[in-house]
Amino acid sequence: SQTIHQWPATLVQPVGSPLSLECTVEGTSNPNLYWYRQAAGRGLQLLFYSVGIGQISSEVPQNLSASRPQDRQFILSSKKLLLSDSGFYLCAWRPPLGSSSEQYFGPGTRLTVT
């Protein structure tokens, strides 16, 4: 069966520090991968998605970047964090084929920028 992992689970970082959040998927190949941010309210904002190694699409301009160095690894990064980067970051995957498939979410990373 497929599983998705995210780490760290929680993170407290000062403004201006770098960021690296990692997401890995097991039990599948060539998944579509997604990064979302959930702010203090509740809405989910899609940040990046990837359909293959090295292929990253950005949904909104921001202080963050994403990379996919391996087939089942998706990394969210920042060179200098802002207070507004605080939130709950969720990674998700779905199979590459089959347009009807749902997305499966990881447990999330709670980021607090101080």
Partner 1 sequence: AQSVAQPEDQVNVAEGNPLTVKCTYSVSGNPYLFWYVQYPNRGLQFLLKYITGDNLVKGSYGFEAEFNKSQTSFHLKKPSALVSDSALYFCAVRETDSWGKLQFGAGTQVVVTP
Beta bridge partners of 67: 75
If binding is defined by CB under 8 A, does position 56 make contact with partner 1?
no
Q: How far apart are CA 15 and CA 24, in angstroms?
A: 26
Query: What DSSP string describes 30-48?
Result: S-EEEEEEE-SSS-EEEEE
- Piece of the chain touching partner 1 by CB under 8 A; list 13-21, 65-73, 75-83, 84-92: 84-92
Which of 15, 44, 60, 82: binder of partner 1 (CB under 8 A)? 44
Interface with partner 1, residue 32, by CB under 8 A: yes
Three-state DSSP class for residue 83: helix
Binding site for partner 1 (CB under 8 A): 6, 32, 34, 41-44, 46, 49, 51, 57, 88, 90, 92, 94, 99-108, 110
